[in-house]
Amino acid sequence: MTDQPRRMKVLQAIVEDYVASREPVGSKALVERHNLGVSSATVRNDMSDLEDDGLIAAPHTSSGRIPTDKGYRYFVDRISEVRPLSTAERRAVQTLLDNSDDMDDIMGSTVQVLSQLTRQVAVIQYPQLDSSVIRRVEFVVLSEHRLLVVLILSTGRVDQRVVHINEPVKQPSLDVLAQLFMQYLDNVSPYSLQQAFAEMQSVIPHEYQALAKSLSDALHLLADAGHQDRILLAGTANLARSPQDFSHSIGPILEALEEQVVLLKLLTEMEQDAHGLSVRIGDENFGSLGDASVVAAGYGPGAAAKIGVVGPTRMDYPSTMSAVRAIARYLSRILTS
């Protein structure tokens, strides 16, 4: 379609009205509700051209028109800027996230607030450990034969594991080993644990060798568990509130969200645009997500992990894009501070 400003205004008006009302939009309503500066006849001609270009379509025999996936894409690609969150929205985000302590709390609070802001399904991919380094390890006596091993990474992730030991140990001995471990592990990648432990073997006192091996094995297990791709969801009930927005049953979409494999693949492949966002609309998505839209942004070290929302193609894209980008940026600041 020739990028004529008036036709773009007509398409934008159709998108806005349809998103707000879920009703097909006619030329008369457009003239009444929007300052287009032209007659209904002119708007009808523009709508005819938009339909010829596949950007809008007539559902059934309705005289009104609705945006197509291609129309939404054309509209999204021409959003010139993404507005910031309002003061009230920013305050709500800060209140929720600033009160979160460990990584699981932060992730849970983040998807909750994003779901509330967008009224869509919020998804967050845990940050990968590839770009993280070890900030601290802690060893704590729980009982005579049980210890708590804690691994803290630069992403803010905190993992812990209970270790059972044969010989009782006192906390001062664990503190000595924690200091020794950190001489070799500080700012080291979790994937270099084995090499670091090999390097420190010669300086570990003989009486601590068996205990140090148990602690090292526990740290390995924590690092391996953290490397697994994990996704957290919130607000899946939002899909069920508007089943008519989907041409088929919402069942396959819910299954895709639950199984996560398709969603993980999609998030991994999504590339950010000039706004720092990724938007996939309708059949641009894989399989059962072909009836939905996904808006996502990278966050954290290297922006490798993604946070976003999944919802119907009849989505308030400007507001959703604003919320997703703002939350991603705020989360990045938390994880890198």
Q: Record the tokens describing residue 154, joined without a space.
A: 């630069």
CATH architecture of 134-227: 2-Layer Sandwich (3.30)
Q: Which of 306, 308, 336 is nearest to 323 (CA)?
A: 308
Domain boundaries, the chain: 5-77, 87-127+229-336, 134-227
Encoded amino acid at 83, one letter: R
CATH of span 87-127+229-336: 3.30.450.40
Does pLDDT of 84 surpass 90?
no
* Cα radius of gyration rounded to whole Å, the chain: 26
* Lookup result for tokens 């691994």: 151
Please give the residue that has the higher pLDDT: either 203 or 92. 203
Say if residues 234 and 122 touch (Cβ distance below 8 Å). yes
Listed range (63-67, 103-107, 306-310) with the worst mean pLDDT: 103-107
pLDDT for 154: 83
> Which of 77-91, 147-161, 182-196, 224-238 is predicted least confidently?
224-238
Query: Looking at residue 269, what is its pLDDT?
Result: 83
For the domain with range 5-77, which CATH number is right: 1.20.1050.10, 1.10.10.10, 3.50.50.60, 3.30.300.30? 1.10.10.10
Q: Is the pLDDT of residue 1 over 70?
A: no
pLDDT band at residue 258 under the 50/70/90 scheme: confident
Q: Are 23 and 64 in contact (CB under 8 A)?
A: yes
* Nearest partner of 225 among 288, 314, 268, 161, judged by Cα: 161
In the predicted model, is pLDDT for residue 3 greater than 70?
no
Residue of 43, 41, 52, 53 lying closest to 17 (CA atoms): 43
**Mean pLDDT to the nearest integer, 51-71:** 89
Confidence of residue 2 (pLDDT cuts 50, 70, 90): very low
Q: How many CA atoms lie within 13 A of 1 on its CB side?
A: 23
Mean pLDDT of the chain: 86
Q: What is the mean pLDDT of residues 94-113?
A: 80
Residues 34-53, mean pLDDT to the nearest whole number: 90
Residues with Cβ within 8 Å of 209's Cβ and at least 6 positions away in sequence, in order, are 201
pLDDT at site 61: 66
Q: What is the pLDDT of residue 311?
A: 92
Q: Are 204 and 173 in contact (CB under 8 A)?
A: no
> Amino acid identity, residue 78?
R
* Sheet-wide strand order for 121-125: 231-234, 121-125, 305-312, 292-299, 278-281
AA letter at 119: R
